[in-house]
């Protein structure tokens, strides 16, 4: 019984912390950093302002946690997508890239939130460090999938390819999220996979049968 109570308390605390982070994210996305006051965050999360101090030493710490959650979430969604698509390295890479170019990662709210943090990064060294860590985590995960491809490569080649592919995915993520009506269904993913494949010298579109956008309907 005591272990169940401890587990319940831990889950409750984690859920409250997550609620505060989500509240901060939504307020920043809606009105910029100025909108994310302690009172507004508490109201949005349905808690008292004093409770925020229980989980975070300051509002700045909460804001940094909100940015970390945004960045980590993008990498996690890509990693999750590689599960269940097969053991082939091409399939796993295609799934990772596609996850970046569909909801819930590719949504306008996420891009707007990211842009709000970008505005703050120049004046906040801690946020800049978080940005660097998040960028490197995503790029490292991407490079690991590239390294696994059955190809002969030159020294330093996969690093350069990961940098280029990451930049390509970033650009498509921004445009696809902000202008969804400008693209046909699955067009952004198709363009992304074709372009990443061109950088790497492989046909990623030939390995998409298990992706939801390319599954053949059951007759």
Looking at CATH, the fold of the domain delimited by 63-219 is given as Tetracycline Repressor; domain 2 (1.10.357)
Q: What is the pLDDT of residues 137-146, one digit of tens each?
A: 999 999 999 9
Q: What is the pLDDT of residues 143-169, one digit of tens each?
A: 999 999 999 999 999 999 999 999 999
Highest mean pLDDT among 53-57, 83-87, 110-114, 176-180: 176-180
Which residue would you say has higher pLDDT here, 51 or 186? 186
pLDDT at 217 over 70: no
Looking at CATH, the fold of the domain delimited by 1-56 is given as Arc Repressor Mutant, subunit A (1.10.10)
| pLDDT band at 68; cut points 50, 70, 90 | very high
DSSP symbols for the chain: -HHHHHHHHHHHHHHHHHHHHHHHHHHHHHH-GGG--HHHHHHHHTS-HHHHHHH-SSHHHHHHHHHHHHHHHHHHHHHHHTTTS-S-HHHHHHHHHHHHTSTTTS-HHHHHHHHHHHHHHTT-HHHHHHHHHHHHHHHHHHHHHHHTSS----TTHHHHHHHHHHHHHHHHHHHHHH-GGGS-TTHHHHHHHHHHHHHHTS-GGGG-TTSTTTPPPP-
Q: What percent of the chain has pLDDT over 70?
A: 93
Q: What is the pLDDT of residues 13-59, one digit of tens each?
A: 788 889 999 999 999 988 888 899 999 998 998 888 788 888 898 88
Query: What is the pLDDT at residue 6?
Result: 52
Domain ranges within the chain, ordered by starting residue:
1-56, 63-219
Query: What is the pLDDT at residue 100?
Result: 95
């Amino acid at each position: 019984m005591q272990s169940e109570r401890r587990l319940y308390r831990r889950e409750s605390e984690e859920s409250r912390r997550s609620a505060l982070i989500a509240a901060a994210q939504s307020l920043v996305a809606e009105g910029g950093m100025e909108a994310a006051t302690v009172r507004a965050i508490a109201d949005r999360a349905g808690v008292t302002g004093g409770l925020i101090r229980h989980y975070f030493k300051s509002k700045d710490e909460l804001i940094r946690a909100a940015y970390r959650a945004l960045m980590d979430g993008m990498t996690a969604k890509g990693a999750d997508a590689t599960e269940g698509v097969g053991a082939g390295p091409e399939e796993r890479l295609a799934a990772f890239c596609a996850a970046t170019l569909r909801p819930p990662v590719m949504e306008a709210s996420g891009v707007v939130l990211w842009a709000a943090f970008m505005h703050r990064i120049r004046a906040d060294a801690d946020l800049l460090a978080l940005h660097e860590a998040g960028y490197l985590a995503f790029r490292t995960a991407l490079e690991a999938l590239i390294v696994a491809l059955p190809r002969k490569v030159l020294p330093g080649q996969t690093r350069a390819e990961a940098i280029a592919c990451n930049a390509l995915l970033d650009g498509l993520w921004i445009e696809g999220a902000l202008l969804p009506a400008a693209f046909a269904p699955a067009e952004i993913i198709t363009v992304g996979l074709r372009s990443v494949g061109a950088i790497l010298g492989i046909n990623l579109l030939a390995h998409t049968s298990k992706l939801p956008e390319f599954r053949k309907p059951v007759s």
